[in-house]
A = this chain, B = another copy of it.
């Protein structure tokens, strides 16, 4: 029933993708996974069967997709390796943030538990990846989507749910990376865009994009 070393790259990719969907509170769907992984829905169905056979997901035809405890443990380990790789790339090798995710996607499958542990040691057990996602299991999530954030209150960006290079580059331009302080100034009457003020400047963030930015009220604890 699936040893750690036994997993193929494809299996790891799927587990990670399912985990990401689940964490994002969107139930993973065949089509959603297909888009995320850039394969056809038919291929996803095939792999879901295999994952079910391996005891990594609970699933029946046309049914809901959920990780089993075993699958969840593995997925966590993979995501952890991914995020540690991101920190190594960003902090040690100074890879530009918008490239960090894609590079880490390849590295995560090549990191042994031992090397992952050493990265964590070297970097002083970082808590967050460069996009603001927790590296180890998180208990509670006090963040909200920028879309739901209250107007005129001090907010701070916690993490970006969308790590694609274009999105990260765009948000870097707008100074909307994790730890950035901002306020919501207005919401567009149609389309639901959000007008934010960052660094004294105002930008409008489209609805879909705003939904992927998680923010919170500033904690007195962290003030650079």
Binding site for B on A (CB under 8 A): 89, 92-95, 99, 103, 106-107, 109-112, 114-115, 118-119, 122
**Contact A110 B112, beta carbon cutoff 8 Å:** no
Least distance between A194 CB and chain B CB atoms (Å): 34
User: A118 to chain B: which residues have CB within 8 Å?
Assistant: 93-95
Q: How far is the CA of A115 from the CA of B106 in the complex (A)?
A: 12
User: A109 to chain B: which residues have CB within 8 Å?
Assistant: 106, 110
**Contact B103 A115, beta carbon cutoff 8 Å:** yes
Q: How far is the CA of A119 from the CA of B89 in the complex (A)?
A: 10
User: A106 to chain B: which residues have CB within 8 Å?
Assistant: 109-112
Least distance between A7 CB and chain B CB atoms (Å): 13
Q: How far is the CA of A94 from the CA of B95 in the complex (A)?
A: 21
Least distance between A185 CB and chain B CB atoms (Å): 38
**Contact B95 A114, beta carbon cutoff 8 Å:** yes
Q: How far is the CA of A119 from the CA of B95 in the complex (A)?
A: 10
Question: Which residue in chain B gives the minimum CB-CB distance to A108?
Answer: B110
Least distance between A109 CB and chain B CB atoms (Å): 7
Q: A107-B110, A107-B111 are in contact. List 13 more A-B contacts (CB 8 A).
A: A89-B115, A92-B122, A93-B115, A93-B118, A95-B114, A95-B115, A95-B118, A99-B114, A106-B110, A106-B111, A106-B112, A109-B110, A110-B110
Q: How far is the CA of A218 from the CA of B105 in the complex (A)?
A: 44
6 sample A-B contacts, Cβ–Cβ < 8 Å, listed by A number:
A92-B92, A93-B118, A93-B119, A93-B122, A106-B109, A107-B111
Question: Which residue in chain B gives the minimum CB-CB distance to A94?
Answer: B118
User: A119 to chain B: which residues have CB within 8 Å?
Assistant: 93
Question: Which residue in chain B gives the minimum CB-CB distance to A85?
Answer: B110
Question: Which residue in chain B gives the minimum CB-CB distance to A89?
Answer: B115
Question: Which residue in chain B gives the minimum CB-CB distance to A116?
Answer: B93
User: A107 to chain B: which residues have CB within 8 Å?
Assistant: 107, 110-111
